[in-house]
Structure 1
Amino acid sequence: MNENMDMEIDREAVRRARPGYKLWRYALLYKKTIALALLMLAVAIGTELSGPFIAKRIIDDHISGIERPWYQTAPGSAGSIAYNGASWQRGDRMPEAERQAEARVLQAGGEFVFVPGGIREDGERSVAKEADGSAVLTIAKNGAVSQYKAQLLTAEQWLAFYKPEFAGIWRLSLIFVVLTAVSALFSYGQKYWLQASANRIIQRMRDDIFAHINRLPIRYFDNLPAGKVVSRITNDTEAIKDLYVTVLANFFSGTLYIVAILGAMYLLDERLALICMVIIPILTVWIIVYRKFAANYNRVIRSTLSEMNGMINESIQGMPIIQSFRREKKQEAEFEAFNRRYFDYRNKMLNLNSLTSHNLVGVFRNIAFVALIWYFSGVSLGSVAGGVSLGVLYAFVDLLNRMFQPIVNIVNQLPNMEQAFVSAERVFVLMNEDGEDVSDISMPRYKGNVVFDNVWFSYKEGEPVLKGISFAAKQGQTVALIGHTGSGKSSILNLLFRFYDVDSGSITIDGMEIRELPRQTLRSHMGIVLQDPFLFTGTIGSNVSLDNPAISEERIAKALQDVGADRLLAHLPQGIHEPVIEKGSTLSAGQRQMISFARALAFDPAILILDEATSNIDTETEAVIQEALEVVKKGRTTFVIAHRLSTIKNADLILVLDRGEIMERGTHDELMAAGGMYYQMYELQQGIRSPGPAAGSSIRGSGVTGTSAASPAGAV
């Protein structure tokens, strides 16, 4: 089984785990590239931290190294220096058995002196010239003063003592340059691979979220504005990306840096390393306290941003209503309230970050430098026992500066880290919602014999909208549903399409209980035409086929022709390739509806649902659509919700609903002969009867409103 399949199983197993664990599981999807990036980061850190040690060696072994004891040796010895007719060589570079007379080359102020016989103890140096051209070196330490006969060295002479060090200095400098280049190369590599891994993780996460949205039931979206969903897929996942890119890199590199630097300090001086380790518990407490406050602020920030996105989305969609009813100022005031809350909590985060970032790090850095100065003030700088070398002091100052840089980086990433965790909570709350996997199971096209048997259903518990609905629709029949708003017409079709499931009772198609079929398999042989047809950005052709590769251009053109849409779309210059923008706003209502009918026909459904499909179009277009309906309905079981009763006169079965119950059923002629609710509704729409007291009472009791002959499109 491949890695992706394993992760599908693992993700389902940990679906309800804590966000941190889920983020870890997503990181494991690309563990190889992340591990490569972190390995490259470790190499970059190691090569970078070699700098202070190389500098220490250059200073102690080569620059300050000439102050170590020199011994007279045989003329012509390798690495020896000629001075005053004798050959001299550093004692640490010659066998002890070859050592003869000792001497020292020391710097005092701006002068270099040669001291035959060496010195007993080093300390504060000063030099005085004698009248005969010689010099006296004075060394003071702890109140004791020692004087030595010395010889002043010219620039040429003391440079001669440095000459054997040049090769070592150049060699170490070259190593430093090479290591710096290696560090830069590996730093680039780790940033590239870590960024690439983070992008892949977020790409996968967004795919998973969007796929999960498609698995969620329609009921879930009844209470969640579209803008909030969009905010979680885009803004929140982008915040999570920062966790993998900047936060992970800085925390990992910072930890490696601090551990490596403390280890280097420990090698240089154990006591100072122990003093510097105090920063670790301080940093830990710091992060815990910061997260306690930042988590609450970030939750408000992210939720408010989501509310703003939701309101923007709603305002754009409802702009005609907002402007028609002069609600611009009201909308602005509501948006300003959200914007003000967002601004206030952003400022709180800013204050928190300001208090706990650079300033506090600066305080700790200064304390550390005070401790360093206090420590080194108790020892002398030199090369004798008990003292510390200039190279060690340089290395400590360099390492201390380097140690605080990763601390600054870690602290600066605390806002991003907390924001990422809060965003992850919001994303995984959405992904934790129970959904149903999209099924790829196919089944033969069913006949379309539909039976509702004592179906009860409620959107809210205890408030049934369908009460004991029972009827049967045979293959090829047309069933019309009429009734007042809220009578249950659309709910019946929602159940048939399995947008919702029944509370009790059963719905069968060709004897199969629909709840035993995957929703996608069930819907593969169903088509629907809504009152407000939805068109996607693309072309007319892509909106008919919905980019189904099984539907060819010829089939698209044939479907448009069969429903009469070719006449309505004839003036479009590009035909079926005519661009369609969001919601098809550049097309008329009739054109959009015709495309919707062609879509239903192109998929050749066994069951067709027409949900008030002709209520929003003009009479001329309705006539074309009525002709198209006869084409579309052939051989299919058709369910029609219609406001205009004249459009359902030829239905095989008409169901009159009232408050979730079927009050009357039969054909048009049967219901007219019965003289009941349908009879009254039909006569009102045709303008034959005025709503008198008795009739009006009866109809109003059914929630039906009559219209005059001048308004044939009365609501049913």
Structure 2
Amino acid sequence: MHTSTGKSLFKYALTAKKTFILALIMLAIGVAADLAGPFIARTMIDDHVLAIEKSYLQTNKADAYTVSFNHQLYKREDRFAPGETSGQAIQILQVGSQYVAVTGQVSTKDGERSYENGKLSIVHGSQTDTYTAVPLSRSEIFAFYKPEFPGVLQLLGWYLAFLAVTIVMEFGKTYWLQSSANRVIQKLRLDVYAHIQRLPVHFFDNLPAGKVVSRVTNDTEAVKDLFIAVLSNFFTGIINIVGVYVALFLLDARLGLVCLFVVPILIGWIVLYRKIATKYNTIIRSRLSEINAIINESIQGMSIIRVFRRQKQTKAEFEALNNDYMKYQNKMLNLNSFTSHNLVNVLRSGSFAIILWYFGSSALGASSVVSLGVLYAFVDILGRLFQPITGMVNQLAALDSSMVSAGRVFTLMNESGENVTDGSMPRYKGNVEFKDVSFAYKKDYVLKNINFTAKQGQTVALVGHTGSGKSSIINLLFRFYDPQKGMITIDGKPVTELPKQWIRQHMGIVLQDPYLFTGTIASNVSLGDARISRETVQKALRDVGAERILSHLPGGIDEPVIEKGSTLSAGERQLISFARALAFDPAILILDEATANIDTETEALIQSALEVLKKGRTTFIIAHRLSTIRSADQILVLHRGEIVERGTHEELLAMGGKYHQMYQLQLGAAAEKATEPAQPEPVALNTVPRGV
């Protein structure tokens, strides 16, 4: 999983490779400029501050580096030009807080120094060397340091220049890295959303909407953190660590080798940490998806929850998920608390202990002395090694969480989607034929040997008990599914030979519970299709009789519609859905119990509009109220996935079969309801009428 996820993330990173590369170049320059500081400090200490203790030779030629002492000119031995004559030597040594001048060469400066009564003593081991020395006044000390000022100021200038480069590179690195990450996540989100649009409808049958939303929002946001925070820290850390080790080896190869033990420990820790953390993060992301799903479900079903007083049970379900989520979050917290900072502290302490041991051992013999400047620079650079390590270790939790989230996103994107074919096909006539069609969602066939023909302009009604296969026929017609056996043709051409988008372009549907989108009434009719003008929208609303009913709304057809159109009545929503179907002028129209939620007055109003709507179109009606399909050209009675009766309303009544029974039941129920006296009676929701 991790390998394929890493490859997918790398592929997306390549979409912004130019800015990523620019950011990494700026990062490398910034690290190099930052690491120049300890080298400048080493040069300042060794070549200027401590270099005053080098031998000074008498000279007759005055220049910027000469010092006047005891009416003679002296210059540091390493500043004589080739061939330049020199005279007597003196050395300046620091003893406590004062400086003394010794005539001639001092055999060794290493050891404990003391000065008393014109005598300088240097104790090294069991031997004591004594020299005649003269104390220096403040003005004389300043005179010896004065030639060092130009070099020190020059080094300070370089330090400030490198500091400025570091600041600029840090800004550029952060800006380009984060802008690249934002661009990558923008493309990833667009691709995920586009892929969701291509997923077959049956995919959403088993995956709650809340979980899909979690993939698009929470999981992609975690992937964004991966690119912006995690990779930024890891790139910075790796380049810093490489730069630090290069600097350490340049200072002293032996000490650089000693410090290499940090690398395998860090790599081993990252591998071990991710093995444990991935288990926790997988559960955490899964629980978060489930929490989103239950919240989404609860909000959509809030009225049912309250009617049936399910608040406590729903809260208990949510609390169980939330507690489980918190339990694994706490496990991750414990893992991070016990390990991350402790690891860095142990590594830091171990490194400095090894360095102190190294300097305190026999390696500090006369032949292997390391200068104070090198020691300072080494400790400074070694301290910088643990800054990026701290950053990397602190991001391990985010790294693993992001990788788990990325895996969930790419698992969704690896689901097989429907091919999207550009273009369109001319509006077909709408002659539909089912030839020996059998279909199963899983194992058991829900449709068996279905045969019928619906010609252009005809109305075909599908009736039957729940589960008889009515909706499955419509699902096959829309090609949400394809049959396992048989063939479906439109105008004589098998639908499997035509792109799904082309077929659906000339189909329209009106559902029993119409779905309205956030926007306006007009936008819900046109669905934002540029081909449908405002005049077409107004005509469609007028033709279905919606204009008069919706006239009381303050905004008219520009009245705002919130999610699902919950501020509108069921009848108003249904009329808008009718107008939508009419505006798109489909060749095949499906009415899925479209008048079930409409009151008798509104139903009478749109019956004539329905005749207009059906004219010239092949219309399929799924109906439970048989009174609405009397004028159908063909009625198919389905029972357990088979067509058991077919014919017109009158023909089926004459048969005296299932259709006749269903019609008589509905007719009798309607008559009984009409003659029943209006008496208030308690309603028992769980009571089943006798005889049903």
After TM superposition, the score normalised by the length of structure 2 is: 0.95
* Residues 568, 299 of structure 1: alpha-carbon distance in 2 compared, 3 angstrom cutoff: same
- In structure 2, the residue matched to 1:191 is 174
**2:300 paired residue among 313, 317, 322:** 317
Amino acid at match of 2:592: D
Question: Are the aligned partners of 1:478 and 1:637 in contact in 2 as well (CA < 8 Å)?
Answer: yes
Query: What is the Cα deviation at residue 115 of structure 1?
Result: 1.2
Distance in 2 separating the partners of 1:255 and 1:684: 79
* Mapping of residues 351-370 of structure 1, within 5 Å: 351-370=334-353
The superposition leaves residues 517-553 of structure 1 with CA deviations (integer Å, 9 ceiling, x where unpaired) of 1111100000000011000111111111110011111
- In structure 1, the residue matched to 2:640 is 659
**1:602 paired residue among 583, 587, 598:** 583
Is 2:331 the counterpart of 1:348? yes
Amino acid at match of 1:287: I
Query: What is the Cα deviation at residue 184 of structure 1?
Result: 0.9
* Residues 710, 409 of structure 1: alpha-carbon distance in 2 compared, 3 angstrom cutoff: farther
- In structure 1, the residue matched to 2:50 is 64
- In structure 2, the residue matched to 1:275 is 258
Is 2:123 the counterpart of 1:140? yes
Query: What is the Cα deviation at residue 99 of structure 1?
Result: 2.4
Q: Which runs of 4+ in 1 moved over 6 A?
A: 379-382, 706-711
- In structure 2, the residue matched to 1:222 is 205
Question: Are the aligned partners of 2:64 and 2:147 in contact in 1 as well (CA < 8 Å)?
Answer: no
Distance in 2 separating the partners of 1:125 and 1:230: 74
- In structure 2, the residue matched to 1:492 is 473
Amino acid at match of 1:87: L
- In structure 1, the residue matched to 2:20 is 34
Is 2:665 the counterpart of 1:684? yes
- In structure 1, the residue matched to 2:681 is none
* Residues 709, 118 of structure 1: alpha-carbon distance in 2 compared, 3 angstrom cutoff: farther
Residue 341 of structure 1 aligns to a residue whose secondary structure is: helix
* Residues 532, 467 of structure 1: alpha-carbon distance in 2 compared, 3 angstrom cutoff: same
Is 2:354 the counterpart of 1:371? yes
Question: Are the aligned partners of 1:478 and 1:638 in contact in 2 as well (CA < 8 Å)?
Answer: yes
After TM superposition, the score normalised by the length of structure 1 is: 0.92
- In structure 2, the residue matched to 1:586 is 567
Question: Are the aligned partners of 2:468 and 2:639 in contact in 1 as well (CA < 8 Å)?
Answer: yes
Amino acid at match of 2:12: Y
Distance in 1 separating the partners of 2:269 and 2:655: 82
Residue 441 of structure 2 aligns to a residue whose secondary structure is: strand
Amino acid at match of 1:229: V
The superposition leaves residues 412-459 of structure 1 with CA deviations (integer Å, 9 ceiling, x where unpaired) of 111111111111111111111111122222111000000011111111
- In structure 1, the residue matched to 2:399 is 417
Query: What is the Cα deviation at residue 333 of structure 1?
Result: 0.9
Question: Are the aligned partners of 2:230 and 2:399 in contact in 1 as well (CA < 8 Å)?
Answer: yes
Question: Are the aligned partners of 1:379 and 1:387 in contact in 2 as well (CA < 8 Å)?
Answer: no
Query: What is the Cα deviation at residue 687 of structure 1?
Result: 2.1
- In structure 2, the residue matched to 1:206 is 189
- In structure 2, the residue matched to 1:647 is 628
- In structure 1, the residue matched to 2:319 is 336
Question: Are the aligned partners of 1:686 and 1:708 in contact in 2 as well (CA < 8 Å)?
Answer: no
Structure 1: runs of 5 or more not aligned: 1-14, 691-705
* Residues 710, 276 of structure 1: alpha-carbon distance in 2 compared, 3 angstrom cutoff: farther
* Mapping of residues 231-310 of structure 1, within 5 Å: 231-310=214-293
Amino acid at match of 1:672: L
Amino acid at match of 1:430: L
- In structure 1, the residue matched to 2:426 is 444
Query: What is the Cα deviation at residue 105 of structure 1?
Result: 1.2
Is 2:529 the counterpart of 1:543? no
Query: What is the Cα deviation at residue 632 of structure 1?
Result: 0.8
Question: Are the aligned partners of 2:510 and 2:591 in contact in 1 as well (CA < 8 Å)?
Answer: yes
**2:38 paired residue among 52, 68, 72:** 52
* Mapping of residues 73-84 of structure 1, within 5 Å: 73-84=59-70
- In structure 2, the residue matched to 1:700 is none
The superposition leaves residues 35-83 of structure 1 with CA deviations (integer Å, 9 ceiling, x where unpaired) of 1111111111110010100111111111111111111111423410101
Residue 89 of structure 1 aligns to a residue whose secondary structure is: strand
- In structure 2, the residue matched to 1:171 is 154
Query: What is the Cα deviation at residue 397 of structure 1?
Result: 0.8
Distance in 2 separating the partners of 1:381 and 1:155: 34
- In structure 1, the residue matched to 2:93 is 106
Structure 2: runs of 5 or more not aligned: 678-688
The superposition leaves residues 242-288 of structure 1 with CA deviations (integer Å, 9 ceiling, x where unpaired) of 22112212212211111221121112112111110011111111111
Question: Are the aligned partners of 1:108 and 1:125 in contact in 2 as well (CA < 8 Å)?
Answer: no
- In structure 1, the residue matched to 2:484 is 503
State how many pairs are aligned: 678
Distance in 2 separating the partners of 1:182 and 1:357: 32
Distance in 2 separating the partners of 1:226 and 1:431: 16
Tell which deviates more after alignment, 256-265 or 633-642: 256-265
Distance in 2 separating the partners of 1:475 and 1:710: 44
Distance in 2 separating the partners of 1:401 and 1:148: 40
Question: Are the aligned partners of 1:480 and 1:648 in contact in 2 as well (CA < 8 Å)?
Answer: yes
The superposition leaves residues 269-315 of structure 1 with CA deviations (integer Å, 9 ceiling, x where unpaired) of 12111110011111111111101101101101100111111111111
Query: What is the Cα deviation at residue 689 of structure 1?
Result: 9.7
**2:494 paired residue among 487, 490, 513:** 513
Query: What is the Cα deviation at residue 628 of structure 1?
Result: 1.8
Residue 460 of structure 1 aligns to a residue whose secondary structure is: coil
* Mapping of residues 448-459 of structure 1, within 5 Å: 448-459=430-441
- In structure 2, the residue matched to 1:699 is none
Question: Are the aligned partners of 1:315 and 1:322 in contact in 2 as well (CA < 8 Å)?
Answer: yes
Query: What is the Cα deviation at residue 355 of structure 1?
Result: 1.9
Tell which deviates more after alignment, 271-280 or 139-148: 139-148
Distance in 2 separating the partners of 1:59 and 1:473: 97
Query: What is the Cα deviation at residue 207 of structure 1?
Result: 0.8
* Residues 229, 475 of structure 1: alpha-carbon distance in 2 compared, 3 angstrom cutoff: same
**2:618 paired residue among 634, 637, 658:** 637
The superposition leaves residues 478-537 of structure 1 with CA deviations (integer Å, 9 ceiling, x where unpaired) of 111111111111111111011111111111010011111111110000000001100011
Amino acid at match of 2:285: R
Query: What is the Cα deviation at residue 684 of structure 1?
Result: 2.1
Is 2:416 the counterpart of 1:434? yes
Amino acid at match of 2:150: A
Amino acid at match of 2:419: D
Query: What is the Cα deviation at residue 386 of structure 1?
Result: 3.1
Distance in 1 separating the partners of 2:137 and 2:316: 84
Residue 551 of structure 2 aligns to a residue whose secondary structure is: coil
Question: Are the aligned partners of 2:431 and 2:453 in contact in 1 as well (CA < 8 Å)?
Answer: yes
- In structure 1, the residue matched to 2:507 is 526
Distance in 2 separating the partners of 1:393 and 1:688: 100
Tell which deviates more after alignment, 649-658 or 70-79: 70-79
The superposition leaves residues 16-50 of structure 1 with CA deviations (integer Å, 9 ceiling, x where unpaired) of 98111111101111111111111111111110010
Question: Are the aligned partners of 1:494 and 1:500 in contact in 2 as well (CA < 8 Å)?
Answer: yes
- In structure 1, the residue matched to 2:680 is none
- In structure 2, the residue matched to 1:4 is none
Distance in 2 separating the partners of 1:122 and 1:449: 108
The superposition leaves residues 181-237 of structure 1 with CA deviations (integer Å, 9 ceiling, x where unpaired) of 111111111111111111111111111111111111111111000000000111111
Query: What is the Cα deviation at residue 674 of structure 1?
Result: 1.6
Question: Are the aligned partners of 1:457 and 1:502 in contact in 2 as well (CA < 8 Å)?
Answer: yes
- In structure 2, the residue matched to 1:95 is 81
Is 2:113 the counterpart of 1:126? yes
- In structure 2, the residue matched to 1:395 is 377
Question: Are the aligned partners of 2:95 and 2:115 in contact in 1 as well (CA < 8 Å)?
Answer: no
Amino acid at match of 1:337: A
Distance in 2 separating the partners of 1:380 and 1:688: 106
Amino acid at match of 2:468: S
Identity of aligned residues (%): 58
